[in-house]
């Protein structure tokens, strides 16, 4: 119990990095996701398959493997270390963001794709009838409907991403899990420390859950 | 529905039998299998190395059945306490901090720590004595080290004496990155993500030899103080009989020259104590 109280401030401090990793990855991931979701509706076979295989590979392999390949794998290749890519890949922080973004981007693209597909043809014809051009149709009609449709599934993805950031500790980052492990390494008491860390994750999940609930209400028409 | 329930119950029963069979009378010895030449794995996944062979010798002397269990380094002491195994032989140094939680047998081998860098590093040619013992005053050497390490990123395996030393403040405030295994430390040293690393000297020389990468030792070798007093067998505090058995076996093995022979085979020099 004493250890739980003692470790709490340090864990809370580390939560900042966890939140940062989660929000940044989700932010970049939305753009990646929308981009590849649009490619999936493309008539070009190349663009379609590019998007298809991107999501296939990143959803079909464990996040841990992805972050290891990006961090330890690419770090072994000499020409990468000598190129401008090393600016991004040298730091564990940017490697983690890159891996998380590509991973959540793949899942998001599937969520957004299916949301776009649910849009009723009649709605689009009505938009055409009203004389809206393609860009206006996309931003005024398609996107709001897609957002509403994808909210429940996307909320799920946010929670998964939050928990996924715990893998940042495997590439030397001191996020919530990283600091928890660090405390355990000197106290040898995993149960107490992980209970505190787990509760903090649970609290964050609770917050995400409620934000999504509010948004769902807002977009309910 | 009733049948499904029965199936569920019987599968639980089957699982329980399976787990209870896994528990046997033999001594289970935990090792990491990722810290060559102390302990590691060959290409087909079998545990090998100095401690794996020594464990077999000690068990033969004790006339005990032994099984060697693999355990990640950061869960080693918790694993012992939770009775996943009964003894630790994993290049674990005997330190005051660990003695608060577990017991150690008498030491079976000496470990000296050293800094490792890539050839051509600015840290090469540091003006320090060949070795220092932290139990004695070394403020001058530590000052040299503090100046040399300022602004450098240092890699180290988590939960080690090496991490404790770097975090102790003896060499100032430095940028430390912690890794799960020594392998990962070596990879990032070669990649240039860290400027320097701290580990057992043999961990670097062994890696340099096997990988062909130009990793070299710099500065003094460290012993004493935070680095503890040799490597011993970690045993639960309440397991006094096993502790006695191991102490006696180590004494015998040492007298017979078994430990020296194994040390020379794996380290290239006699690290027995």
Going from N- to C-terminal start, the domains of chain A cover 2-218
pLDDT higher than 70, residue B11: yes
| Residue whose C-alpha is closest to residue A116's, from A141, A92, A81 | A141
Specify the higher pLDDT residue, B24 or B96.
Answer: B96
Specify the higher pLDDT residue, B12 or B191.
Answer: B191
For residue A70, the 8-state DSSP code is I
Which among B77, B164, B178 is the nearest to A188, CB-wise? B77
Order the strands of the B87-88 sheet from edge to edge.
B66-70, B27-31, B87-88, B234-235, B103-104
pLDDT bucket at B24, cuts 50 / 70 / 90: low
Backbone angles phi, psi at A203, to 5 degrees: -60, -40
pLDDT higher than 90, residue B78: yes
> Given this model, what pLDDT does residue B19 score?
65
**Residues A155, A158, A164, CA angle at the centre, nearest 5°?**
145
pLDDT higher than 90, residue B10: no
Q: Which residues in chain B have their CB less than 8 angstroms from residue A172's CB? A: 155, 177-179, 188
Please count the residue pairs, one from chain A and one from chain B, whose beta carbons lie less than 8 angstroms apart. 44
> Given this model, what pLDDT does residue A185 score?
85
For residue B214, the 8-state DSSP code is -
CB contact, 8 Å: A75 with chain B? Answer: yes
| Residue whose C-alpha is closest to residue A108's, from A45, A48, A25, A46 | A25
**Per-residue pLDDT averaged across A25-43, rounded?**
94
Residue B14: which residues within 8 A CB-CB, separation 6 or more? none
> Given this model, what pLDDT does residue A221 score?
65
| Cβ contact B35:B91 at 8 Å | yes
pLDDT bucket at A143, cuts 50 / 70 / 90: confident
> Given this model, what pLDDT does residue B15 score?
78
- How do residues A126-137 score in pLDDT, each as one tens digit? 999 999 998 999
Which among A75, A185, A189 is the nearest to B193, CB-wise? A75
Percentage with pLDDT > 70 across chain B: 97
Highest-scoring range by mean pLDDT, B10-19, B135-144, B167-176: B167-176
> Given this model, what pLDDT does residue B129 score?
87
> What is the chain B residue with the closest CA to A80?
B191
| Residue whose C-alpha is closest to residue A174's, from A110, A108, A109, A93 | A93
Do residue B163 and residue A185 have CB atoms under 8 angstroms apart?
A: yes
Do residue A181 and residue B158 have CB atoms under 8 angstroms apart?
A: yes
Do residue A172 and residue B178 have CB atoms under 8 angstroms apart?
A: yes
Question: Which CATH superfamily groups domain A2-218?
Answer: MetI-like (1.10.3720.10)
């Amino acid at each position: 119990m004493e250890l739980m109280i003692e470790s709490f401030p340090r864990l809370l401090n580390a939560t900042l990095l966890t939140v940062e990793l989660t929000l940044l990855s989700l932010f970049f991931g939305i753009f990646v996701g929308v981009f590849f979701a649009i490619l999936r509706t493309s008539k070009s076979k190349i663009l379609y398959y590019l998007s298809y295989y991107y999501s296939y590979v990143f959803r079909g392999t464990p996040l841990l493997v992805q972050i290891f390949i990006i961090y330890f794998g690419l770090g072994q290749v000499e020409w990468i270390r000598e190129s401008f890519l090393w600016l991004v890949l040298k730091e564990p922080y940017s490697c983690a963001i890159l891996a998380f973004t590509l991973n959540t981007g793949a899942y998001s693209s599937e969520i957004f794709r299916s949301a776009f597909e649910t849009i009723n043809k009649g709605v689009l014809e009505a938009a055409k009838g009203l004389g809206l051009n393609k860009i206006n149709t996309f931003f005024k009609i398609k996107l709001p409907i897609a957002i509403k449709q994808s909210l429940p599934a996307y909320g799920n993805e946010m929670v998964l991403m939050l928990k996924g950031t715990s893998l940042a500790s495997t590439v030397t980052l001191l996020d919530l899990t990283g600091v928890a492990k660090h405390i355990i390494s000197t106290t040898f008491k995993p149960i107490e420390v992980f209970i505190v860390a787990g509760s903090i994750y649970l609290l964050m999940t609770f917050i995400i859950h409620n934000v999504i609930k509010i948004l769902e209400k807002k977009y309910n028409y | 529905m009733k049948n499904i329930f029965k199936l569920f119950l019987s599968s639980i029963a089957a699982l329980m039998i399976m787990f209870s069979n896994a528990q046997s009378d033999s001594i289970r010895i935990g090792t990491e299998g990722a810290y060559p030449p102390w302990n590691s794995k060959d290409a087909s996944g079998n545990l090998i190395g100095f401690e794996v062979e020594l464990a077999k010798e000690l068990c033969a002397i004790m006339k005990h059945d032994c099984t060697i269990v693999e355990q990640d380094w950061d869960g080693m002491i918790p694993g012992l306490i939770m009775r996943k195994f009964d003894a630790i032989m994993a290049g674990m140094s005997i330190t005051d901090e660990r003695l608060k939680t577990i017991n150690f047998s008498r030491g079976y081998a000496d470990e000296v720590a050293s800094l490792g860098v890539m050839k051509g590093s600015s840290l090469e040619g540091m003006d320090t004595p060949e070795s220092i013992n932290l139990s004695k005053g070394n403020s001058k050497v530590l000052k040299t080290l503090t100046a040399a390490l300022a602004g450098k990123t240092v890699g180290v395996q988590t939960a080690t004496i090496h991490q404790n030393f770097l975090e102790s403040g003896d060499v100032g405030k430095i940028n430390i990155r912690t890794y799960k295994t020594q392998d990962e430390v070596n990879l990032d040293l070669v990649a240039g993500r860290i400027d320097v690393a701290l580990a057992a000297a043999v961990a670097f020389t062994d890696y340099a030899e096997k990988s062909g990468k130009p990793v070299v030792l710099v500065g003094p070798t460290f012993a004493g103080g935070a680095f503890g007093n040799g490597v011993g067998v970690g045993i639960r505090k309440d397991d006094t009989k096993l502790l006695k058995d191991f102490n006696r076996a180590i004494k015998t093995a040492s007298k017979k020259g078994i430990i020296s022979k194994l040390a020379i085979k794996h380290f290239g020099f006699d690290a027995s104590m």
